[in-house]
Amino acid sequence: MINSSSSKKHGTDQQEISGPTAKSQRAQMGKPEESENKKRLKDVEISVPIVFGNAAFWLGKKASDYQSHKWTVYVRGATNEDLSVVVKRAVFQLHSSFNNPTRVVESAPFELSESGWGEFEIAITLYFHSDVCEKPLNLFHHLKLYPEDESGPMSTKKPVVVEFYDEIVFTEPSESFLARVQNHPAVTFPRLPAGFTLPPPVPIEDESKRNRGDTKDHPLSQWFLNFSEADELLQLAAARQQVQAHIAKLRRQISMIDGQNQQLKPPSDQ
């Protein structure tokens, strides 16, 4: 019986198993769906924080009935790093009233600009490199053109921006994937099993030679929202404290009442 994979799962935390045993276990368990050269690390996950959404500019005087806004829908790294390290291409599925509603973007930055008047749901499908993941991932974004406050004036200078933070989680990543991205800023690298070593990364090409896929100097970058987990963590911690305090209080009250009830119980009961 294989007993060394005795990792306890707490929520989404995952512990790892030692390297050499992991390999022999995999050989024993004989995962049928992968070939031996794609060694995967069980109980390891690697995540890529992303932000996706849209920015929409009102065209003001130049607006026509059917083209009142110019908008851009995009998927970017949460810290504006280049996503093409994991994403091979992005497919944006627009409303059927658009010409060629299926728009394919083959390189970073993964974005699409169009003009129109209507708000609709855009399905974004991310395809990953073959060593990353065979399956694509779907995101859904509701295009927003009009500001929340309907009564306010619309400005051609300030866009309506709606962004969502999320993280793409890859489970059981392959060694080659891990090796390739081990120092890349776009990726949240996991803690590896003790004693496990990766092959050295392929030397990164000269930045200037490649087309820059990061969005640090993107024209829209001034409108990008900031997402800080610190605030949310603080909020959650404070809330938890309050709830825990209440729980403790209730427990005291219950035991008190229990005591009272015991004395009150008529002898015929129970």
Neighbours of 86 (CB within 10 A): 24
Note whether 80 and 49 are within 8 A (CB). no
SS3 content of the chain, % helix, strand, coil (to 5): 25, 25, 50
Least distance between another protein and beta carbon 202 (Å): 23
Q: How far is the CB of 128 from another protein (least distance, A)?
A: 7
Residue number with CB closer to another protein (46 or 108): 46
Residue 222 C-beta: closest distance to another protein, Å:
20
Q: Name which of 106 and 232 has its Cβ closer to another protein.
A: 232
DSSP state of 236: H
Secondary structure element (H or E) that encloses residue 29, with its range: helix 19-29
Residues that bind another protein (CB under 8 A): 2, 5-9, 11-13, 29, 47, 49, 128, 133-135, 137, 139, 165-172, 227-229, 231-233, 235-237, 239-240, 242-244, 246-247, 249-251, 253-254, 257-258, 260-261, 264-266
In the complex, least distance from residue 188 CB atom to another protein, rounded to whole angstroms: 8
Q: How far is the CB of 36 from another protein (least distance, A)?
A: 18
Q: How far apart, in whole angstroms, are the C-alpha atoms of residue 122 and residue 110?
A: 14
Q: Which is nearer to another protein, 50 or 143 (CB)?
A: 50
Q: Which CB, 116 or 139, lies closer to another protein?
A: 139
CB 245 within 8 A of CB 237: no
Cα distances from 191 to residues 23, 150, 198, in angstroms, run: 17, 48, 12
> Which of 158, 251 has the CB closer to another protein?
251
